Structure 1
Amino acid sequence: MYSEDYSEKQADVSITDLDEKYPATVVVSADDATILERYTEKAHNGHLNVAARDLEMVMDKIMSISAEQAKEILIHAIEHHRDDINFPVDTMDRIILLVDGPLSYGQDIETYDFDLKADACLIHYFSPYPEVRCVTDPYDDPAITCESFRVYMLAIAWTMLSTGVSQFFIFRQPSISITSSVIQLFLFPLGKLMSYILPDWGFTFRGTRYTLNPGEWTYKEQMLATVMVNVANASTYVAESILMTQHLDRYYGYTIPIGYQFLLNFSSQYFGFAFAGVLRRWVIYPVRSIWPTTLPTLALNRALLKPEKAEKINGWSISRYRFFCLVFILSFLYFWIPDYLFKALSTFNWMTWIKPTSHTLAVIGGSTLGIGFNPIPSFDWNILNYQNALSIPFYSQANQVIGTFLGGIGIIGMYFTNFHYSSYVPVNTNELLDRYSEQFNVTKVLTNGLMDEAKYKEYSPPYYSAGFMMTYGSYFAMYTLGLIYIFAKEWKPISQGVRDFWRALVTRRSANYDAFKDHNSVLMSKYKEVPDYYYLGILLISFTLGVICVEVYREQTQTPVYAIVVVILATFVFLPPIVILRSITGWSLQISVMSEMIAGFMLPGNGMANLVLKCYGTEAESQSEGFVQDLKIAHYARLPPRAVFRGQLVATFIQCITSIGVLNWQMANINGLCETDQADKFTCPGLKTCFSASVVWGVIGPLRTFRGLYSLFAWCFLIGGGLAVVCYFLSLKFPKVFRYFNPVLVVGGMGLWAPYNMSYYTGGLYLSFFFMHYIRRRYVAWWEKYNYVLSAALTAGVAFSAIIIYFSVQYHAKTISWWGNDVISAGVDGGVGQQTRFALPEKGWFGLEPGEWK
C-alpha cells in the first residue's frame, strides 16, 4: 500500500525529469477510435471535469501516455502535494489508491486504466487544482495578439478615470470606486469597437507587423489591459493617507510642495514594483501558489471572450456569458434595495431593535457601535463578500472567522472589566481619545513638529478602545508568529527561491523557469523573460528618488536616509513569508504597524518621520502584493512577461500623476474637507486611523506605549513567537489536524476589528461553506463552470449600481425616510444615547491621575 513511508527510491522523481520524459507540448492523436470513443464516454460520466473545449487535448494526452508513465507522475504528485492544503483531499485519496493498483482501487481494469491516466494527465498537462483548470487553458498560441496600440489607449484612459474616481471619493464615507470588474465590462465592448473602427495603419519591422488595428479584439489583449488597470485603478497610499494627514490643520498642518508630493509618490510606488519582480520565484512560478483572489478576474474575462461549446452541467446548460449577464442585471437591480430603498437589509442590526435603548445589547449585537455577534448580519453582497467569500478557500475563511470570534470574546472581557479604562471609550472605535473623551489633539503635545515632554504630561495620554487594543495586540503577536511559523513551514521553497535568484544574477543565461517545469511554466517558457536586473534597476531609481525627497524636503519629512534603508530591509525580510501565505490562502498579513513601530524606535517623538517611513514600508508591501497578483494573472493567461512589465510600468506612472492631480484639486476646492459635518460626507474616516497611528507610534512612541499603560503589547511579540514554535512542532506530530488549522490565520482574524466587526465576516462564512466547500465537493463540474463567474457578476453588479446610485440620488441627497431606513440609526447602535459603559466623571476627565503617565 502507498503510505508516508513509501521508499524514497521509488518516489524520487523530479518534475524536470517528468517533463523531459513526457513533454507538455506534444500532442499525439489516438489511433484506436473505439478506445477513444469509450474513453470519451468515461470522461463525460466520470471524474474528468474539464470543459468541452479542452476535452480533445486531454483525451489526446490520455491516449498517448502509458500506465507506467502515469503512475510515475502520480507518485511525484503525492510527494509534492502531500501537505498542500489546496490539493483536493478526494483526489489525493484516489491517486494513492491508483498508485497501489487495481485491487486497492476496486474497479475493473478498463476503468482503473482510464482513471490512472486521466488523473496523471490532468495534474501534469493541465493543473493539479480544479479551480485553476476552470479558468485557464491547457494550451497556448503565442501568435495571438497581446500588446497593441488599442490596449495602451484603453488601459491608460481607464487608469486615469478609475484612479481619479478612487482618489476623489477616498475621503468620503462610504467611499466610491470603479472596481476592476466594472472596468472589464467596459474594456470588452470598447475593444471590440476599436477593432471595427480603427484603420489598419502600420509598418513591418524585422518581420513583425505593427498596426493600429491588428484585427479581432483578443482574449490576451483583454487580459493585458485588465492587468494594467488592475494594478493602478485605485488611489496611491501617499495621496489617500500620508499627504492629507500632513497637510490638514486638524492634523499636522504642514505645507506640502508639489515636488515633494511627486518624489514621495513615485519612489514609494516603484519600490513595490521592484520587489514584485524579486518575489517571482516564490509566488509566481511555483504551482502551489494558486492566488485564489485572481480567479474571479480570469473567470469574468473568459466568460466575455472565450467561446464555449454547448454542454449540460448538473442540469444547467446556460453559457458562462449568459449566466454572467443574468446575475449582473439581478445584482445591479437588487443593490438598490439595501443601499437606498431598505437600508436595514444592509446593516441588519435586528437584535438591537428588541430594545434600542439598551447599551449592553448594542455592544454585543450591534453592527455599528458594537462587535456584531449577530447570526444574520446582512443581505447586502457588498458586506457578505467583504472577505471574498466565493474565491478564498473555505478553510482560510473558517480560520479567520474563528480568530475574529475569539477576538470578540476578548473584547467583551476587556470592555466590561474596564481594562485600561476601555469602558470610557466606545467599544470598537479606531479613534484615539484623550482623558476628556475628545479626539486626541496632537498639536497640544508638539513643539516645532516634535514631541514636547512637558506639554504631553500636562495634556493627556491617548486611550484605546477595547477593539483597538485587540487589533494592535493581535498584529504584534502575528508578526513574530507569522515570520517564524511560515519560515519554518515553507523553508524549502523560500531557500530555493533565494538560490534561484542568486543564480540568475550571476549566470545571465540561466532562465527563470529552469527550476519550474509545471505545465503553466512550460507554456510560459516560450516567451522572453524580464531579467532580474531590470527590477533591481527600478529599485535603485526608487531609492535615489527617496533620498532626494528626504534630503531636499527636510521640513516635510524630518527623516534621515538610514531610516528608509532600515524600513525597506525589514519589509523585504517579511515579504516572502507574507506573500507566500497570501498566494496560498488569499489572506494578507499587512505590515504597516511594523513599519510604524520600527520608525518609532528609531525616531521617537517624530510623527512626520513616522508617516514617511510607514509610507515606504506599507507601499513596498501592499504594492508588491498587488503587482505580484497581477503577474500571476498574466502567468495563467499566457501573457508575454515583457509586455506585462511595460504595461505595469506605464500604468503605475499614470496612476501616480493622476492621484496627485486630483489630490491638489481636492485641497483647493472642497470646503470643510475631513470635518465631521462636511456637507457631502467627505469626512475622511481612513485618515483617523492614519493620524492615530502616527500619534501612538511616532509622537508618543513605542517605548512610552510599551512601558506605560499598554505594556501588555510588548508581551504579545513573545506570545506570538512562543506560539509559532509550539504550533510548528505540533504540526509535525499532528499533520492531519494542522492541514486545515493555521495559527497565523487565526491570530490574523483576531485583529480584524476597529472599526469592522463580526457583521462583516459571519455572512461570508455561510456563503464560503456553501460554495467553496459543499458545492465544490458535491457538484464539482457546476462549481468549476459557474462559481467564479457568479462572484464576478455579483461584484460587478454592485459596483456599477453603487456608482449610479451615488450620482443619481445621493450626491444631491434625495433621502427616503421610513422605518426600513431609519430603524438602523434609531437606537444606541445608531449613535443615539449612551455610547460608552461609563460616563465622564464629574471631575471632567477619566483615566490616570496627572503625572502618572509616562
Structure 2
Amino acid sequence: MNRIPNDNDSYEIAITDNISSDDANVVNEYIDSAQASYEETGGIVSNKDDPDTLCVTFRSLFLGLSFNLLLATLNQYFIFKTVTYTFHYVLVLLLAYPMGKTMELCLPRKTLGSFSLNPGPFTIKEHALIFLMAYVASINVSAIDVVAIEYRINPRSNFVEGLFLVISSQVLGYGMAGIMRRFLVWPSEMIWPTILPYIALLRTLHEREPPLTHRWLKLTRLKFFILFSVGQMIYYWLPGYIMPVLSTFSWMCMINPNNRLLSQLTGHYGLGMGSFQFNWLSLTYGLPSPILVPRWAQINVLVSFVFFVWFLIPILYYTNVWDFKNMPLISLSLFFPNGKYYSPKIDISGTTEPFRMSVSNVLSIYFTFAFFPTLITHTIVFHGKDIWKQFRTSFKNRQNDVHCVLMSRYPEAPEWWYLILFLGSFIVAAVICRYGQYMPWYLLFLALPLSFACLLPVGILLSITNLSLNTTVLVAIIGSIIQHGDIVGASTFATFAFGTFNQALSLSVYLKFGHYMKLSPRSIFIIQLVMTIVAAISRFLMASYLSKHIPNLCNENKDWSCSNLLTTGTFYAVLVYSDPKKLFGQDSMYANMLYIILIGALLPILIWIIQWRYSKMKWLKYVHIPIMFMQVTLVGFLPADTFPSWLLLGFIFHTVIRMWWWNRYALLFTIAMDFGVQTSVFFLFFILKYQSINFPSWWGTQEVKSADMEIQMYVYAVCLTLRPQSCRGRWGGA
C-alpha cells in the first residue's frame, strides 16, 4: 500500500517477501517495539507468540456463545422499546475475565481423550476469542428492519423467508470480508486503530508488567485503567443524570438565550462557537475517540469544519440563498417553503407536497453524493499502484512484518472457503428475493457490485484514520430511485448494497483483531461464521416474537414505539413516496449542487499533481479531500459543538500529552472512558431511567431554550409511514 502520512514521518513500509514458518522462531527474542512497521502498533500488539497457547476451549466457547446470545437478544429487544438501551461489548471484555478465571478455578480438570472442561490457566487467546464472538452479536442486522417494515404492511409475511433473508445478508458480508483480506487485513499499513485499545487492555489484564523506573505517578497500566475507569463511572452521573447541561454547555448562549443571532452562532443547536461538551458519551457518539484518529487526519477535519460550518454555512444562510433563512440554520427536518415543518400524509400509494431543506441538510446530502466518487478517485490515484502490486503478489507471498511472520505458523483459511460462502448466500438471497417478493432478484447484480466497489476504498480510509461515512442518506436515496414507490423493495436493495458493506467492514476489523492476537485463521473462520449466523437468528427470533405477542407494536403503544425502526421506515417513506429525482436531481431547486460530485472526483487528481509538482512542500502529503468531505456529511447528524470539543481533546492528547505518557497510557485512557461510561449507563438505565425516576429539576437539568430550539436533530419526522394516523398535528405542517 501507499505510504501513510504520520506525525513523526519516520517509519518504513514493510516489503513483500516469501516467509517460511521456520522464520517465526526468531521473533521470540524481540521486544514489542522491534520489527513493528508502524509506531501505532509497535508498543501495543505483541511481537511474540506461543502457538500452544489455549484458544478454542470449552470455556471460551461457552462464554463466547453466552455473551453472543445475550447481546443479540437484549439489543434487539430494546430496539423496539420506546426507551432504548444498547449493551456495549466493552462490558463483555471486562466481565469475561473474572468469569474465565472463575471457571479456571472451579471446573474439574479431568480429561476425556483430548477434551477437558478445564485444560489449564485462562489465557489471553481464550479471552480474545470470547470478545470476538460477543462483538459479532453487536453488529446491527439491517435486514431485520426490512422484515419489520414488511410485517407492518403484511402481518402474515412468511417467517422462513424473513429468516433466510436475514441470514443471507449477514453471510454475504462475511464472505466479502474474507475475499478482501489480502487488501484490508494482511498489509501492515492497515492498522485499524479502533481495535488497539481492546488489545492494550487484554495485555494489561493477562501479562505481567515489567518493572520500569519511569512511570507517570508511579502507576502501572492496570492501576491507571482502574483509576480512570472508576473516575469516569462516578463523573458520568453528572452529565448523564444530575447535570445534563454539561453535555450541551453553551456558556455564550446562556448570556442572552433570547438573542436569535447569538443562539444560532454559539448554541448547541447552532454553529457551536464557544460551546463545549463535557460528556465522553456524547463526544464519541457519532465519532471515534479522538485519541484513535491521527493528528494529520484531525487537521483535515478542522480545516473542513472551519471552512464549511463556520464560514460557508453562515454566508449561504444570511444571504438567504434558496430561502434558507425561512428554516433553522442546522436541521435534518423537511419544511414547507414558508418554513413550517413538513409532515406529509403518506399511505401505501401516497403522494407528497414539495419541500425545502435547511442549508446544513443540503450540504450534508450533496457532499454525501460526492464522497464516494472522491474517495474512489483518491484511492486510485494515491493507492492504485500498491493495490495492484498487492493483488499480484499476495496469492503467493505475504508481507514480512512481524505479525505476518508469526501468523505464518497457522494454516490460512483458503480463498475458496470464502468464495463458496459468498456464492451460496448469494443464491439463497436471490431465491428469497424472488419468491418472497422483497425485490426483483436480479437487482442483486447491481447491489453487490456497488457494495464491493465501496468496500476497498472505505476500508482503507477506516483502517488508516478510523474515520468513515454515515451512509444512511445515500442508502435511502439510491434505494428509493431503484425501487420507486416500493418501501420494502427500497429498503431491501439498501440492505444488500450497504448493509452487507457495513457487515463486511465490521468483520474485517475483527479479522485484523484475530491477526494481531495470533488466533488461528481457520478457527476464526468457523467460529465467526457460526456466531454471525447465531446472532442473526437470535435477533430475528426476538423481533418475530415481539411482533406477534406485543399488541400495537410500533403503533400507538407508549412502551413499544419502535423509535429506531420508525426512523428508518420514515426516512425511506419520505423518499420512496416522493420522487427522489425531483428532490435531489436535475429538476430540484438544488440541482447546481450536483457539480460537487464532479468537483470532488477531480480534486484528488489536482492534489496529486500539485504534490508531484511541488514535492518539497512536505505538508501537501497530509491533504486528504475525502476526509474533508466526510466531515461535511456529518453536519446536522451531529451537533456542531461536538467538533470543537472533539478536536480540542485530540490536540491535547496528540500534541501535549504525547510528550509524557502517550505510549504507555493513551489507549488505556480511551477504553477506561468507554468502560466507565457504559458501566454507569447500565446502572442508570436499569435502576433509574427505566423506572422513570428522574433527578429533581434544577438549573443543571434545564436545557437552555434558545431562539432556534425548534431544530430536530436526527429524524425527519418520527411517525409517518408505520403509524400515520397518529401524526396529524403532532409536528406542525398541514
Shorter chain as denominator, the TM-score bin is: 0.7 to 0.9
Deviation at 1:689, TM superposition (A): 5.3
Provide the rounded CA distance (Å) in 1 between the counterparts of 2:273 and 2:161. 47
Question: Which residue is 1:91 aligned to?
Answer: none
1:243-272 deviations in Å (ceiling 9; x for gaps): 344445xxx677543223212211111111
Question: Which residue is 1:465 aligned to?
Answer: 358
Deviation at 1:190, TM superposition (A): 0.7
Classify the secondary structure of the residue corresponding to 2:248.
coil
Provide the rounded CA distance (Å) in 1 between the counterparts of 2:398 and 2:373. 30
Tell whether the 8 Å contact from 1:272 to 1:624 is kept in structure 2 after alignment: yes
**1:773–1:244: structure 2 CA closer, same or farther, 3 Å change rule?**
farther
Tell whether the 8 Å contact from 2:253 to 2:706 is kept in structure 1 after alignment: yes
**1:800–1:670: structure 2 CA closer, same or farther, 3 Å change rule?**
farther
1:382 aligns with 2:269: no
Report how many aligned residue pairs link the two structures: 696
Q: Which amino acid aligns with 2:202?
A: N
Provide the rounded CA distance (Å) in 1 between the counterparts of 2:560 and 2:271. 24
- Structure with the larger RCO, 1 or 2 (CA within 8 Å, 6+ apart): 2
Question: Which residue is 1:429 aligned to?
Answer: 331
**1:690–1:717: structure 2 CA closer, same or farther, 3 Å change rule?**
farther
Question: Which residue is 2:421 aligned to?
Answer: 538
1:319-377 deviations in Å (ceiling 9; x for gaps): 2112111111111111111100111112213332222233333332222xx23423341
Q: Which amino acid aligns with 1:617?
A: A
**1:356–1:704: structure 2 CA closer, same or farther, 3 Å change rule?**
closer
Alignment of 1:521-670 (within 5 A): 521-554=404-437, 557=438, 559-591=439-471, 593-668=473-548
Provide the rounded CA distance (Å) in 1 between the counterparts of 2:335 and 2:150. 20
Q: Which amino acid aligns with 1:569?
A: P
1:267 aligns with 2:267: no
Classify the secondary structure of the residue corresponding to 2:405.
helix
Percent of aligned pairs sharing the same letter: 25
Provide the rounded CA distance (Å) in 2 between the counterparts of 1:762 and 1:647. 42
Provide the rounded CA distance (Å) in 2 between the counterparts of 1:462 and 1:193. 60
Question: Which residue is 1:416 aligned to?
Answer: 318
Q: Which amino acid aligns with 1:378?
A: Q
Q: What residue ranges of structure 2 are gaps of 5+ in the alignment? A: 1-11, 713-728
Deviation at 1:421, TM superposition (A): 4.2
Provide the rounded CA distance (Å) in 2 between the counterparts of 1:430 and 1:571. 26
Q: Which amino acid aligns with 1:57?
A: Y
Match of 1:808 among 673, 687, 695: 687
Alignment of 1:500-511 (within 5 A): 500=393, 504=395, 510=396
**1:500–1:616: structure 2 CA closer, same or farther, 3 Å change rule?**
farther
Deviation at 1:685, TM superposition (A): 5.1
Deviation at 1:663, TM superposition (A): 2.0
Q: Which amino acid aligns with 1:243?
A: V
Question: Which residue is 2:228 aligned to?
Answer: 327
Q: Which amino acid aligns with 1:587?
A: L
Question: Which residue is 1:243 aligned to?
Answer: 147
Provide the rounded CA distance (Å) in 2 between the counterparts of 1:751 and 1:13. 32
Classify the secondary structure of the residue corresponding to 2:25.
coil
Question: Which residue is 2:718 aligned to?
Answer: none
1:460-492 deviations in Å (ceiling 9; x for gaps): 024323222111111112111111111210012
Q: Which amino acid aligns with 2:574?
A: V
Tell whether the 8 Å contact from 2:290 to 2:649 is kept in structure 1 after alignment: yes
1:278 aligns with 2:158: no
Classify the secondary structure of the residue corresponding to 1:471.
helix
**1:645–1:348: structure 2 CA closer, same or farther, 3 Å change rule?**
same
1:142 aligns with 2:22: no
**1:425–1:237: structure 2 CA closer, same or farther, 3 Å change rule?**
farther
Question: Which residue is 2:115 aligned to?
Answer: 210
Question: Which residue is 1:714 aligned to?
Answer: 594
Question: TM (normalized to structure 1)?
Answer: 0.76
1:230 aligns with 2:131: no
Question: Which residue is 1:111 aligned to?
Answer: none
Provide the rounded CA distance (Å) in 2 between the counterparts of 1:484 and 1:690. 33
Tell whether the 8 Å contact from 1:600 to 1:702 is kept in structure 2 after alignment: no
1:396-436 deviations in Å (ceiling 9; x for gaps): 22322432333324333344344444444443333334568
Tell whether the 8 Å contact from 1:384 to 1:760 is kept in structure 2 after alignment: yes
**1:268–1:419: structure 2 CA closer, same or farther, 3 Å change rule?**
farther
Provide the rounded CA distance (Å) in 1 between the counterparts of 2:568 and 2:321. 22
1:595-622 deviations in Å (ceiling 9; x for gaps): 5454444443433321111111122211
Q: Which amino acid aligns with 2:256?
A: K
Tell whether the 8 Å contact from 1:289 to 1:583 is kept in structure 2 after alignment: yes
Question: Which residue is 1:36 aligned to?
Answer: none
1:733 aligns with 2:621: no
Tell whether the 8 Å contact from 1:696 to 1:705 is kept in structure 2 after alignment: no
Q: What residue ranges of structure 1 are gaps of 5+ in the alignment? A: 1-11, 28-53, 59-120, 448-454, 505-509, 834-844
Structure showing greater Rg? 1
Provide the rounded CA distance (Å) in 2 between the counterparts of 1:362 and 1:169. 35
Match of 2:384 among 458, 477, 491: 491
Tell whether the 8 Å contact from 1:432 to 1:439 is kept in structure 2 after alignment: yes
157-166 or 804-813, larger mean C-alpha shift:
157-166
Tell whether the 8 Å contact from 1:184 to 1:226 is kept in structure 2 after alignment: yes
Match of 1:395 among 293, 296, 310: 296
Alignment of 1:82-97 (within 5 A): none
**1:221–1:829: structure 2 CA closer, same or farther, 3 Å change rule?**
farther
Q: Which amino acid aligns with 1:526?
A: R
Tell whether the 8 Å contact from 2:170 to 2:533 is kept in structure 1 after alignment: no
1:110-140 deviations in Å (ceiling 9; x for gaps): xxxxxxxxxxx95xx4313232122222211
1:360 aligns with 2:261: yes
Tell whether the 8 Å contact from 2:447 to 2:493 is kept in structure 1 after alignment: yes
Question: Which residue is 1:109 aligned to?
Answer: none
Deviation at 1:390, TM superposition (A): 1.7
Provide the rounded CA distance (Å) in 2 between the counterparts of 1:416 and 1:13. 49
Classify the secondary structure of the residue corresponding to 1:232.
helix
Provide the rounded CA distance (Å) in 1 between the counterparts of 2:492 and 2:567. 16
**1:356–1:733: structure 2 CA closer, same or farther, 3 Å change rule?**
same
Question: Which residue is 1:170 aligned to?
Answer: 79
Classify the secondary structure of the residue corresponding to 1:809.
helix
Tell whether the 8 Å contact from 1:596 to 1:698 is kept in structure 2 after alignment: no
Question: Which residue is 1:371 aligned to?
Answer: 270
Tell whether the 8 Å contact from 1:405 to 1:758 is kept in structure 2 after alignment: no
Question: Which residue is 2:715 aligned to?
Answer: none
1:766 aligns with 2:648: yes
Alignment of 1:689-708 (within 5 A): 691-693=570-572, 695-696=574-575, 699-702=578-581, 705-706=584-585, 707-708=587-588
Classify the secondary structure of the residue corresponding to 1:136.
coil
**1:412–1:268: structure 2 CA closer, same or farther, 3 Å change rule?**
farther
1:663-689 deviations in Å (ceiling 9; x for gaps): 2344356667657x9745956257435
Deviation at 1:274, TM superposition (A): 0.6
Tell whether the 8 Å contact from 2:448 to 2:496 is kept in structure 1 after alignment: yes
**1:13–1:323: structure 2 CA closer, same or farther, 3 Å change rule?**
closer
Provide the rounded CA distance (Å) in 2 between the counterparts of 1:16 and 1:565. 34
Provide the rounded CA distance (Å) in 2 between the counterparts of 1:25 and 1:623. 36
**1:315–1:200: structure 2 CA closer, same or farther, 3 Å change rule?**
closer
Deviation at 1:591, TM superposition (A): 4.7
Deviation at 1:729, TM superposition (A): 1.6
Classify the secondary structure of the residue corresponding to 1:135.
coil
Question: Which residue is 1:37 aligned to?
Answer: none
Question: Which residue is 1:785 aligned to?
Answer: 664
Q: How well do the aligned residues superpose, as a CA RMSD in angstroms?
A: 3.1
Provide the rounded CA distance (Å) in 1 between the counterparts of 2:13 and 2:335. 61
